[in-house]
Amino acid sequence: MDPLDIMANIDQVVPYYQAIFSADEQCVIGYEVFGRIKTEQGIKSLGPFFHDETIPEEFRLEVDNEILRKALGVFSEFHKHSLIFINRNANLLMLDHGEAFLEMLLTYQQKGLDLNNVVVEITEHNFQGDIEQLNHLLTYYRTYGIKIAVDNIGKESSNLERIGILTPDILKIDLQVLRQTEISQSFHDVVYSISLLARKLGATLLYEDIESAFQLQYAWKNGGRYYQGYYLQKPAREFVERDLLKERLKQEFQQFIKYEKRKLEALYTISEEFHVQLQSALVKFKKNESYNEFLSYLGKTLHDKSFRMYICDEDGFQQSANLLKKDNKWLVQEHYYMKNWSWRPYFLETIFRMRTKRIGILSDLYSDIETGEIIRTFSYPLDDHLYLFIDVPYDYLYDHDAL
């Protein structure tokens, strides 16, 4: 629509509400407010209007505030206990240092709005100003009980350092990428990094743009507490019952749990098989044999389960060569002797766990530095000072439901 037509019919703009569901209670905990306009052709989204930087700032602010006033009126009177997620363009917000927006919220607080239920959503990667000044404003908002969310993470090139500065209460991860035929491992790694950041910040993860059961499962599996998207509920003029999807979500979560249990059982079975075979191999291993000879023997025993093996001491210095399988044959790579791996994530923690519990440990999935392949590593204590590392290939993990 032409911006001037929207301004001429500003009385026709209305808020629409998209329900947000929680994992812990399987109920609606709040709504995100979207802008719509009534036209002769029907209801149309105002998203393109708000995202068009060529439209004068005062136009966008006036329409945005008109929608917000109507939404706040409803929440302050009828939905006092629901969270209200309000999108604010951080660049526009900083024009008056957020004063007009706060004044509007305080006005509706006098009418019954609980500011502890207000969530201000900003998009970090669109902000062009001083991130420290924005942080000061958001910190000031928090003194009133207002929560801060950073949205569209994963959709654009978000800066995790800047997000860390803002210390949001909620991180919204966009799952549109999961609709692609091929999903790069880097996306999974980014989601994992965001989940770690959320944990350190004490922030809640909200997954948005969920349009399928697979995406919901992905969100559930990757630490999502809140969920939003067309698969659950489309934006609508009216609110929905709080327990609208309670039974459905409960059933879907039970399926997710059942699937994860099967996978954990598969991982436990793999670990047990490694334990049995390695214990048997150690009985046959002669003390006067070299580490490389021991690895060569293991290569025959674990031919289909591994593509690389090596032995390190407790400080991470490699005490053997690498035994590497290439073209279905084992090669001895002597130049890896005395390389140190203590710098790798979780290496020393894994050593300590093995030394304390005297058990082998199967790692989580990760991308191998040299091959780029998705693998797991089984680590096993040979004695108090030596530890065996067995890299398990993707094909074997896939065949045994261990991905």
Note the pLDDT tens digit of each residue in 23-51.
Answer: 999 999 999 999 999 999 999 999 999 98
For 251-282, the pLDDT digits (tens) are 999 999 999 999 999 999 999 999 999 998 88
For 312, the 3-state DSSP assignment is: strand
Report residue 164's pLDDT band, with 50, 70 and 90 as the boundaries.
Answer: confident
Rounded Cα gap, residues 290 and 143, in angstroms: 66
Cβ(115)–Cβ(144) under 8 Å?
yes
What pLDDT is attached to residue 283?
Answer: 82
Report the range of poorest mean pLDDT among 29-33, 52-56, 121-125, 374-378: 121-125
CB 154 within 8 A of CB 173: yes
Token code pair at residue 101: 């927006």
What is the enclosing helix (H) or strand (E) of 355? helix 347-357
The per-residue b/e assignment along 339-371, b for 16 or more CB within 10 angstroms, e otherwise, is: eeeeeeeebeebbeebeeeeebbbbeebeeeee
Alpha carbon of residue 62 to chain centroid: 34
**Cβ atoms of 31 and 88 closer than 8 Å:** no
SS3 for 162? helix
- In the chain, how long is the greatest CA-to-CA distance? 91
Residue 20 tokens, joined: 């947000």
- Which residue is it, tokens 């004490």? 202
**Per-domain residue ranges of the chain:** 3-228, 259-399
Mean pLDDT confidence for 235-247: 96
Q: By the 8 A CB rule, do 3 and 55 touch?
A: yes
What integer is the mean pLDDT of 371-390?
92
Q: Confidence band (pLDDT; 50, 70, 90) for 64?
A: very high
Name the pTM for this structure. 0.87
* Statement: residue 137 has pLDDT above 60: yes
CATH number, span 259-399: 3.30.450.20
Regarding beta strands 83-87 and 42-45, do their DSSP bridges make them parallel or antiparallel, or are they unpaired?
unpaired
Q: Homologous superfamily of 3-228 in CATH?
A: EAL domain (3.20.20.450)
Is the pLDDT at 81 greater than 80? The verdict is yes
- Tokens, residue 109: 């607080």
Instruction: Calculate what percentage of the chain has a pLDDT beyond 90.
Output: 76
* 111 burial type by CB count under 10 A (0-12 exposed, 13-18 middle, 19+ buried): exposed
Confidence of residue 286 (pLDDT cuts 50, 70, 90): low
pLDDT at site 240: 95
